[in-house]
Chains A and B, each alone.
Chain A
Amino acid sequence: MNSFKTKKQILDFITHAILLVVAVTCIFPVFWMLSSSLKTQEEIFTKMTLFPEVWQWGNYVDAFIKAEFGMYFLNSVIYTVVGVSAIVLITSMAAYGFARLEFWGKNFLFYLLISTLLIPIPGVFVPLYLLLKKLALLDTRTGLLLCYISGALAFGLFLLRSFFEDLPKEIEEAALIDGCSRFGIYWRIALPLAKPAIATLVILQCLAIWNEFLLALVVLQDKAKMPIQRGLMVFQGTFITDYPLLMAGLTIATIPIVIIYLLMQKHIVKGIAAGALKG
């Protein structure tokens, strides 16, 4: 019995040792970014201390104003808020239609719409670029948003339709008899009931749009419209890299993501694991 106990203790010790090393490896680069964002350029070039000698909070003021990360940040907020709202509205409406209503070509249209989930299409940014050019939407906020919204259609539909299908029909039928319109039922009854699935969609799409880079690279030229991921690349490309400011910019781009993640980590982790295991 005694030897059993010590064996388990040794195993636990090794387990924690491995997990701890990996955890430190995960966190250190992020910590290094934070720490470097509060140093001076000279400190970065000459010293390798873990923490700044004097915490240069002014770096963040410079990053927001001089390096224009404030502008990029605001753009990212706009893209994320508008994009995610539109995704939720458009996909939930369509998902409700596919789950509950009868119309022409229903099954065919559903499989057509979610087919893009199954087929990997690398390089769609090439025809999207040409399309936006033709529509005079190149280098516009609208153009980029339309790309983001349409990119999330299949996933949103897939996620929400099955959720609507699992909701009990009785409440809706009662409302219908009471004279509620179809749209009223969707808006007042089905949509509020779908909150858990919509929360998953909102969180995952927030992360996706906030972190998106390639389409922003292809679609936008004008700095004033760029989201922060794009702004970071512009900053590190055009200046003799001012590392504290770059690190402050990286931190600014990361903070909202980390906050959302920490607040919603159960949703995110469950959403990803469940979504992946189902699919």
Chain B
Amino acid sequence: MNRYLTLLWNGLIPENPIFRLALSLCPAVAVTVSIKNGLMLGLAVVFVQVASSCTVSIFKNFIHPRIRIPAYVIIIATWVTIIDMILPVINPAVYKDVELFIKLIVVFAIIISRLELFASKEPLGLSFFDGLGMGIGFTFGLCLVGAIREFFGAGQLYGYDVLGFQPLLVMILPAGGFFVIGFIMATFNWAEYKITGKMPKSGGGH
């Protein structure tokens, strides 16, 4: 049981997909103008990550290593197609904002890298929790960026007016997303430096 919790925690902070692994940055900037959008895409990613991790874990012995990447892509694309049909029924308004990125989950590096590095080697239970941890970490990252941008850009949180005015309009413009992520990454680096006394090596970037 303990190992499962470690995997969950691992995805949340030490290997957070967005801030530490620097994977799947496109949606992190694009849909995070509000918490709602971030949450919607995050949940979609949790679903796709868990479902495809489990699928690959179950079928790992049947997938020939030479064609594993195309096989993974097809598995991911199948689950994405399913979630792409479910979400518009649940919340059409928010879905409209994030539609393109839901479809683009297929090419999110985070999912395929977890399949390659984890699910293709480990048993079902571990893969499930690894996928869940990564998905939750991704959702956490999206919501954090979304909250900061929504608060400073629109003066709102989760659609509710908090400030009543817009302190920094630039935050909800395209540029704001880049700034916020840059500063959050720097904060993570700084925190790690304070705790461990070592400067972390910067993420690979794709």
Whether chain B is bound by chain A comes out as no
